[in-house]
């Protein structure tokens, strides 16, 4: 009987160790993950991001540097391309044909996200959870991009909440 109990404990410890060894920084085992590098207007990498699809929504982790201190609009754009002026990323993802803005009384579209905030040294780190879009949509045939703007989004003004110029862009790639 004691040998059987010892054997069960050994098997349990082995399975626990295997589970811990298989975990990744990108997210839970089996979770769908995507990532990308954020480039600035000069083409240099200024940060990165990771998306992890959860059961109840999509989690975005983003970290960037070189921003002006304060708020910056961040949106999901409908084309996975970042030309030097970032216009190749097109407009916001909008599969629901709604106006822009998390606070817009007429609705919200899939590309809308809360602002990120850069510290005095120009760095920003944020975790953003959204139920407005799934990773599958971001990874469609023409891809998608994360775009960071020069100013904060007021979440109402059309078409981009007064967020101004595009100062960062990253193509979303499946991990």
Write the pLDDT tens digit of every residue in 113-129.
Answer: 999 999 999 999 999 99
At 84, the pLDDT band (50, 70, 90 cuts) reads confident
Residue 10 within any structural domain of the chain: no
Residue 7 within any structural domain of the chain: no
At 30, the pLDDT band (50, 70, 90 cuts) reads low
Residue 14 within any structural domain of the chain: no
pLDDT of 29 reads 65
pLDDT of 12 reads 39
Residue 4 within any structural domain of the chain: no
Distance CA 147, CA 5 (A): 56
Query: For the chain, what percent of residues have pLDDT higher than 70?
Result: 83
pLDDT of 13 reads 34
Write the pLDDT tens digit of every residue in 31-61.
Answer: 899 999 999 999 999 999 999 999 999 999 9
- Total count of domains within the chain: 1
Residue 35 within any structural domain of the chain: yes
Domain residues for the domain of 167 are 28-174
Residue 56 within any structural domain of the chain: yes
Q: E strands along 6-78, which residues? A: 33-40, 45-53, 58-64, 70-72, 74-77
At 70, the pLDDT band (50, 70, 90 cuts) reads very high
Backbone angles phi, psi at 170, to 5 degrees: -145, 130
Say what the pTM is: 0.83
Residue 20 within any structural domain of the chain: no
Higher pLDDT, 5 or 96: 96
Res. 94: pLDDT tops 80: yes
- Alpha-carbon torsion (140, 60, 50, 91), positive or negative: positive
DSSP three-state, residue 63 = strand
Distance CA 39, CA 89 (A): 13
């Amino acid at each position: 009987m004691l040998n059987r109990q010892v054997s069960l404990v050994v098997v349990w410890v082995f399975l626990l160790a295997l589970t811990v060894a298989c975990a990744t920084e990108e997210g839970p085992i089996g979770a769908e993950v995507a990532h990308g590098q954020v480039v600035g207007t000069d083409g240099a990498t200024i940060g990165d991001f990771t998306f992890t699809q959860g059961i109840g929504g999509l989690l975005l982790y983003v970290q960037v540097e070189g921003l002006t201190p304060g708020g910056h609009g961040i949106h999901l754009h409908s084309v996975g391309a970042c030309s030097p002026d970032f216009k190749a990323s097109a407009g916001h993802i909008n599969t629901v044909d709604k106006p822009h803005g998390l606070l817009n009384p007429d609705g919200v579209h899939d590309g809308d996200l809360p602002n990120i905030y850069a510290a005095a040294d120009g760095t920003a780190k944020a975790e953003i959870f959204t139920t407005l879009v799934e990773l599958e949509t971001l990874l469609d045939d023409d891809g998608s991009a994360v775009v960071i703007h020069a100013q904060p989004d007021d979440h109402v003004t059309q078409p981009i909440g007064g967020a101004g110029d595009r100062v960062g862009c990253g193509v979303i790639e499946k991990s």
